[in-house]
Structure 1
């Protein structure tokens, strides 16, 4: 073998060693997580089996198993049966070999099902050695990032390619081997050396050896103590749980993760390749599926429930298209979330984020046109930019797409014009239907005019399953409870309060005036004697004693002012209020200050300003000062705190007054919530049936005002058409 051949083989061996090393380091890191997870998972399974009564064994055996003697013998749970085994069961009077065998077999069947279903949740408030070991093991992989995983995949692929080539090159590794090798082996060896040289040169040109070496270093790095790992977990819990679900293999049900799409659509999406080279985070399985759905179906509406990461799914789709060579992308969103979009793109991808907002937006637009990247602009600003030429935009993303549900508005016309010139369009909204199915159809018509017209109203008459199947090519929705197995408990409490005499007086005045909005906030009109404010103070004080952060939502600014005055504004613990008049940048700053506060803090927010686009997962208590006209508004606001990344239970307290507008609204809106759950939240909508048509906000307001005037026996002004605000 000549010098060049020896060097080519040596380079190939060094590359193979680096590839094998990073693959081994990654496998060890994964093994550490599995080792730390096992005792926690086993303990959970044991606890669950200890709660399942022995009577459940009868269900498994279709009623054939007689359990009376077992129960008399003190075997009360499935765990008792497993712990005893057949030998001890047979010692129980009246229990024979067959019964013992059947009981243990049935118990094992239940145990297998339990072990497959239980999911470990990490409790930050009660750390103990076993959970600390898991957090530390996960920290290594989270800190190493997606780059380490990709390096391990590259290493595995390289090792598989290099191993046979190095074996074939052996005959040229020494003079004696060369002499004794036959002609065919020498020719194969020469070809192998040439291929080794080509692979090594290509890898060195792409910086692969350095990437493999860096990944190995990152995978061997440990946190600076257990406390550092716990702090990082609180900051990035979503990434920890994402890895945990992937490694444990106990992710959500596949059908749920795929939005219960029909098999033909789901299969087409699964076949879509997803290049994550430009992503800086690892996607969960359902998130990767969502990005593939957007790519495979081209023009779609992603309607995932709040908190499931619609933004990162959109970024993943953009990153894939960038890897394929597309250079220009446009994101349209409300002004309140423009900063959040910019941050997300910069931190979760290598794509260039370019905000087009403010007085310099035209100059920024020209810069984006020349250099490319992801432009982020508002609905209003979009109208000032020329529509693109065909094929110019890799993908148009419209966040909070329900903002364009009315085709008569100028922002809807602008989005429609841009969508008409883009091959790929992705609408994002967690509230695809607020009042009528026509709104949903308007969104679909922008995406797929032919498809919207082809959807038969009879599908909606058949119910949510039929409609879900009908709209599957264009609509994907998943729910938190289906795909986030680790999400902490969400506790809803309706706090019913009797109005004080002062509250009653203010309420009667509002009813007499026919003023629906004044009726809704009458409980705060006399702050010094307000029953609701008294209860709110108690909830905040209790939260302060437990060191919990609180978000207070109201639709009304004067209510937030009353809350601010009722609480200790001089304590430094009070933040906000976030209202519609607060600039988007300041809104985000207020949330950041609230999140960074040490211990207890309170954030005040107008529900439609703070309930959209701002992530408040630092809060574990949410207080709603009054019920909202649309249940989706409450749902969005709560989801600001109870979302992926939340690490504690979330307590939701809705303050309600008995016997008046609150009670009537809650009763009337129960139907809205039921319909939203049955249709929109299950990837479907309905129209043309009496049950599926909600009363409009104005109609609801008029009806409540008239009924309250009749109940209280007061006559006054006829409620105006705009009383619903």
Structure 2
């Protein structure tokens, strides 16, 4: 039955016409299939691994609808950090006209978009909530980084749901549709094809990931880099372990005793000459000597600022949440085109989304993150289509610290994702994947460290 279901969908997708007369550029074979999948199935989740060109596949689907079905209006909802990227990609790869509705002129931009034809409105999750909607029906709605709308109780999700329900074609894009629990994935399916929910009840989930993937085959398409990009250069991942020095250990024990979760995670960069910082500077110096640029990611602003101070004129950034999207792109362009800027410094929750940084070949993560998807998205900014060099990834870890417990947590979460969401039945078992909330998780890890240190 599984094979029959997948085969029937494949046949439908392959027979789907695809008019590329309004598209600029050539689709790879898997991207061609992805665009046809969107058109044939109409309301889907594209879960391709980061770096495989989900944006290009959506643009191809939109251009077909404009050319072959006289569709006139399209909407893209995305984080603010990637609005500029969407605008650039649409201009570069299509004859459609992008309209960026974000900021003070958003109402006028919305009016201009509604009055035009073959036009794409690009807006953010937050702006969408304030727009007078809808002035016209969107032929296709795309939600980028769709894991942002996994919680049905939020106003962000509710605003997107209203938009999605009114459109005949919908594409939710996320390389990480399940970050913590399988229920998050189910919520995305509810948005696009709620009729599938009856096949995703708890008894069915207890049958394991294979049954789950069969049930969602009609709505979910995912390909990994190893599946389709045989020419992608090698990636080497290394955990660089250091011991906390006296200053760092003093700061760490004080943070554990105080139950200060954030201070515990930053302790490896405290003191006069912390070992993590020394290792980072060594990695940057080695990369520079070999003509390779570096991207440094951290969750913490204090860490980024210290890294920038130590690197001096070699550093570009930091790119943080306070930096407007257009300025982020300018910093990246300067980094990519200027020889003297050797290291791009970025906050991982900002620089890890929407930026293409193939000019670098070394990635340094200053601390382990709480979700595998956070690290994966950051690394995929560098290890993606267009990269011609081998990519080295270094994760800085402090022995005998909270870093060890977080890495163990990452392994468990990655296993859950691999079971339920890393593969789609169309593109080719475990029990319920459940995790506590972030605050509860922090309390558990703090308590474990306090017990280990006898505090």
TM-score band by shorter chain is: over 0.9
> Does structure 1 residue 556 correspond to structure 2 residue 271?
no
Which residue is 2:49 aligned to? 305
Q: For 1:664, which of 387, 400, 405 is the aligned residue? A: 405
Pair 1:366 & 2:366 matched: no
SS in structure 2 at match of 1:318: helix
Query: Structure 2 stretches of 5 or more lacking a match?
Result: none
Q: Displacement of 1:443 after TM fit?
A: 1.2
Corresponding residue SS for 2:422: helix
- 1:600 positional shift: 6.0
CA deviation after TM superposition for structure 1 residue 575, in Å: 0.2
- Distance in structure 2 (CA, Å) of the matches to 1:697 and 1:532: 25
Question: How much is the aligned-residue C-alpha RMSD, in angstroms?
Answer: 1.8
Task: Output one character per residue of 1:48-88: Cα deviation in whole Å (capped at 9) or x when no partner.
Answer: xxxxxxxxxxxxxxxxxxxxxxxxxxxxxxxxxxxxxxxxx
Q: Equivalent of 2:28, from 284, 287, 297?
A: 284
| Residue of structure 1 in register with 2:122 after alignment | 376
CA contact (8 A) 1:356 1:377 kept: yes
Cα distance in structure 2, aligned partners of 1:645 and 1:682: 24
Whether 2:139 is the aligned partner of 1:394: answer yes
- The reply to whether residue 436 of structure 1 matches residue 185 of structure 2 is no
- Once the two structures are superposed, what CA deviation does each residue of 1:200-243 show, in whole Å capped at 9, x if it has no partner? xxxxxxxxxxxxxxxxxxxxxxxxxxxxxxxxxxxxxxxxxxxx
- What does 1:492-641 align with in structure 2 at a 5 Å threshold? 492-526=237-271, 528-567=272-311, 569=312, 571=313, 573-598=314-339, 601-641=342-382
Deviation at 1:467, TM superposition (A): 1.5
Match for residue 10 of structure 2? 266
> Matches of 1:460 and 1:548 in 2, distance apart?
46
- Picking from 470, 478, 486, the partner of 2:215 is 470
In 2 relative to 1, CA 261–638 (structure 1 residues): closer, same or farther, beyond 3 Å? farther
CA shift, 1:389, in A, is 7.3
CA distance in 2, matches of 1:504, 1:315: 51
Asked if 1:385 corresponds to 2:385, the answer is: no
Unaligned segments of structure 1, at least 5 residues = 1-258, 715-725
Asked whether the equivalents of residues 578 and 606 of structure 1 are also in contact (C-alpha less than 8 Å), the reply is yes
Q: Partners of 1:476 and 1:301 in 2: how far apart?
A: 7
Select which of 179, 190, 205 maps to 1:460. Answer: 205
Runs of 4+ residues over 4 Å off in structure 1 = none
Calculate the TM-score normalised by the size of structure 1: 0.60
- SS across alignment from 2:76: strand
Query: After superposition, where does 1:108-123 map in structure 2 within 5 Å?
Result: none
- The superposition leaves residues 635-670 of structure 1 with CA deviations (integer Å, 9 ceiling, x where unpaired) of 110001001111101000000000110111112221
Partner of 1:341: 86
Q: Which has the higher contact order (CA 8 A, sep 6+)?
A: 2
Of 409-418 and 486-495, the range deviating more from structure 2 = 409-418
Query: Does the Cα contact within 8 Å between 2:43 and 2:193 map onto a contact in 1?
Result: yes
- Alignment partner of 1:646 is 2:390: no
CA distance in 2, matches of 1:691, 1:410: 27
Hey, what's the Cα distance between the residues in 2 that align with 1:363 and 1:692?
A: 45
The Cα shift of 1:460 comes to: 2.8
Contact 1:354 1:374 in 2 (8 A): yes
TM-score w.r.t. structure 2 length?
A: 0.95
Alignment of 1:77-476 (within 5 A): 262-324=6-68, 325-372=70-117, 373-388=119-134, 392-476=137-221
1:639 and 1:260, CA in 2 relative to 1: closer, same or farther beyond 3 A? farther
In proportion to residue count, which structure has more helix? Answer: 1
Instruction: Tell me if 1:704 matches 2:445.
Output: yes
- Taking the aligned partners of 2:195 and 2:5, their CA distance within structure 1 comes to 20
User: Matches of 2:363 and 2:403 in 1, distance apart?
Assistant: 18
Q: Do the aligned residues in 2 keep the contact of 1:511 with 1:705 (CA within 8 Å)? A: yes
User: Structure 1 residues 525, 388: CA separation in 2 closer, same or farther (over 3 Å shift)?
Assistant: same
C-alpha contact (below 8 Å) 2:144/2:173 kept by paired residues: yes
> CA offsets, 1:132-153, max 9 Å, x none?
xxxxxxxxxxxxxxxxxxxxxx
CA contact (8 A) 1:464 1:682 kept: no
Q: Provide, for residues 7-41 of structure 1, a one-character-per-residue CA deviation record: whole Å limited to 9, x for no partner.
A: xxxxxxxxxxxxxxxxxxxxxxxxxxxxxxxxxxx
In structure 2, C-alpha distance between the alignment counterparts of 1:356 and 1:600, rounded to whole Å: 33
Shift of 1:353: 1.0
CA distance in 2, matches of 1:260, 1:614: 39
1:117-160 alpha-carbon deviations (Å, 9 max, x no partner):
xxxxxxxxxxxxxxxxxxxxxxxxxxxxxxxxxxxxxxxxxxxx
* Other-structure match for 1:675: 416
Quote the offset at 1:381 in angstroms.
1.2
- Tell me: CA distance 1:677–1:690, structure 2 relative to 1, closer, same or farther (3 Å): closer
| Distance in 2 between residues matched to 1:667 and 1:616, nearest whole Å | 29
Native 8 Å contact 1:302 1:475 kept in 2: yes
User: CA 1:355–1:585 in structure 2 vs 1: closer, same or farther (change >3 Å)?
Assistant: same
Deviations 1:452-476 (A, max 9, x none): 2443434433333222111011111
- The alpha carbon displacement at 1:261 in A equals 7.6
CA distance in structure 2 between the partners assigned to 1:461 and 1:551 by the alignment = 41
Moved more, 506-515 or 705-714: 705-714
Q: Is the 8 A contact 1:623 1:653 kept in 2?
A: yes
Structure 2 CA distance for aligned equivalents of residues 320 and 691 of structure 1 = 39
